[in-house]
Amino acid sequence: MNAQVTRVLIDPTTKVAYGVEFVRDNEKIIIRARKEVILSAGAVNSPQILMLSGIGPREHLTELKIPVIQDLRVGENLQDHIGLGGFTFMINQEVSLIQSRYEN
């Protein structure tokens, strides 16, 4: 479909999602949902879309002039997961996580 969601449309009074706004071929398109809106855009893009839709930390949304629908701590616990489930191996040092390897 080659489209990028820009925000979920949410009624500010009822706080019910009723559609989605997206861009395709440089054209902004709005579609309305018949039943429900499901946001499944991954660990990074889901919080971004929620915040662009007005759901997120009030001070951050206000700073960006996004109307606040719900003040929530969206995206505040986002972090890389450095562990690998079920994958084990031998190491040649006492500490398996070396701080300098995952710092900026």
Give the DSSP letter of residue 70: E
Instruction: Provide the H-helix boundaries in the chain.
Output: 42-52, 58-63
Domain definitions of the chain by residue range = 1-104
pLDDT in tens, 1-25: 689 999 999 999 999 999 999 999 9
Where residue 79 falls among pLDDT bands split at 50, 70, 90? confident
Task: Name the CATH topology of 1-104.
Answer: FAD/NAD(P)-binding domain (3.50.50)
Residues 6+ apart with CB under 8 A from 102: 80, 82
Write down the pLDDT at residue 77. 83
Instruction: From residue 80, give the alpha-carbon distance in Å to each of 44, 71, 72, 77, 91.
Output: 10, 24, 21, 10, 22
